[in-house]
């Protein structure tokens, strides 16, 4: 699988299997049937030209001034750059992005789910100033990835990636506001307003309530109508949304070494530790104990490599 051509690369550094960064210039077409970056999340700033991303049998055009997020690179089947293309790209392992979302996510909850819930590229048009800030963030991160001898290289790369996400979040807030604006939503449709209220309920109750009925009753609507609203907004069934939200909270708790696995299970309102273990393994592919042990081992592993 190739997202880029060696002839495009102006600058390129990476930590293999963890994070890749590059500055690109020029045209290229790549078919991505063998997608080795399926577990990666990509951000791209387009300073000039266009790119065409194909998901399934549908192609999307993204152009100069756009900042692009593709949260599921595994669903990208083809990418094409115009001959005048110039931009920056950062591809981060899902574990790195999830680590930031689990600890201190800079994004409004509704925007996080919109970003995660869709397979195709999500983008926003930015002002020149905003795009320049994000491109500088990406350039700084690419430079840092090449400094293998920095005594705190791991911490520095993490911090610079977080800065990129913070600046992106700031641009999103400027355009779309945040979830505190529920009292000023006269222009929102009823379904959009209900979805925002649903997100606030999830934030407050998800550790104890994972069933659709609870949230539908709290909103005084049917389970079917709530399921339709959630599917329209995040592109996934409501059961998957709630289950995923519970998993993320559980994973965050497991990162706290002071909490036993039994305490996490109790806090998440599972009937017993065995049920919790099966739930967690279904989402992560590993038991809670295996996940806890993997956190320190997998976080910011710095290994060399040669090919994207």
- Tens-place pLDDT, residues 137-158: 999 999 999 988 888 888 888 8
Residue numbers of the domain that contains 189: 179-295
More confident residue, 95 or 300: 95
Q: Tell me which of 176, 202, 228 is where a domain ends.
A: 176
Identify the pLDDT of residue 105: 60
Identify the pLDDT of residue 297: 62
Query: Do the domain assignments include residue 244?
Result: yes
Same domain, 245 and 145: no
Residue 151 CA to residue 132 CA, distance in Å, equals 29
What CATH number corresponds to the domain at position 50? 2.60.120.280
Residue 222 CA to residue 274 CA, distance in Å, equals 32
The number of domains in the chain is 2
How are strands ordered across the β-sheet holding 86-93?
Answer: 9-15, 19-25, 86-93, 40-48, 66-70, 122-125
Q: Would you say residue 45 has pLDDT above 90?
A: yes
Summary mean pLDDT of the chain: 81
The rounded Cα 256 to chain-centroid distance in angstroms is 22
Residue 306 CA to residue 308 CA, distance in Å, equals 7
Same domain, 26 and 133: yes
Query: Do the domain assignments include residue 238?
Result: yes
Least confident stretch, 90-94, 170-174, 251-255, 262-266: 170-174
Confidence tier at 102 by pLDDT (50, 70, 90): low
Same domain, 196 and 269: yes
Q: Tell me which of 146, 176, 206 is where a domain ends.
A: 176
Same domain, 221 and 135: no
Q: Tell me which of 176, 210, 243 is where a domain ends.
A: 176
Backbone angles phi, psi at 45, to 5 degrees: -105, 130
The percentage of the chain sitting over the pLDDT mark of 90, rounded to a whole number, equals 31
The residues that bridge with 122 in the sheet, in sequence order, are 69
Q: Would you say residue 241 has pLDDT above 70?
A: yes
Q: Hey, CA dihedral for 66, 1, 15, 116, is it positive or negative? A: positive
Residue 199 CA to residue 194 CA, distance in Å, equals 9
């Amino acid at each position: 699988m190739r997202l880029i051509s060696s002839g495009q690369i102006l600058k390129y550094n990476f930590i293999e299997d963890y994070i890749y960064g590059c500055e690109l210039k020029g045209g290229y077409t790549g078919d991505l049937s063998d997608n080795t970056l399926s577990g990666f999340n990509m951000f791209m700033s387009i300073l000039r030209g266009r790119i065409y991303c194909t998901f399934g049998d549908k192609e999307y055009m993204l152009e100069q001034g756009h900042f692009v997020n593709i949260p599921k690179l595994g669903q990208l089947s083809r990418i094409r750059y115009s001959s005048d293309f110039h931009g920056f790209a950062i591809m981060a392992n899902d574990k790195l992005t999830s680590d930031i979302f689990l600890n201190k996510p800079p994004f409004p909850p509704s925007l996080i789910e919109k970003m995660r819930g869709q397979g195709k590229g999500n983008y926003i048009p930015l002002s020149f100033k905003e795009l320049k800030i994000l491109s500088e963030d990406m350039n700084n991160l690419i430079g840092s990835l090449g400094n293998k001898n920095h005594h705190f290289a791991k911490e520095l790369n993490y911090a610079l990636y977080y800065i990129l996400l913070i600046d992106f979040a700031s641009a999103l807030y400027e355009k779309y506001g945040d979830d505190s604006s529920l009292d000023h939503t006269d222009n929102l449709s009823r379904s959009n307003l209900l979805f925002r209220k649903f997100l606030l309920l999830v934030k407050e109750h998800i550790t104890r309530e994972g069933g659709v009925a609870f949230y539908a009753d709290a909103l005084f609507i049917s389970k079917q109508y709530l399921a339709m609203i959630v599917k329209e907004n995040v592109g996934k069934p409501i059961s998957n949304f709630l289950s995923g939200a519970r998993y993320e909270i559980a994973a965050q708790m497991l990162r706290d070494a002071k909490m036993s696995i039994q305490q996490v299970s109790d806090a998440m309102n599972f009937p017993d530790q065995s049920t919790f273990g099966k739930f967690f393994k279904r989402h992560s592919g590993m038991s809670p104990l295996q996940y806890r042990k993997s956190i320190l081992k997998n976080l910011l592993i710095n290994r060399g490599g040669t090919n994207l």
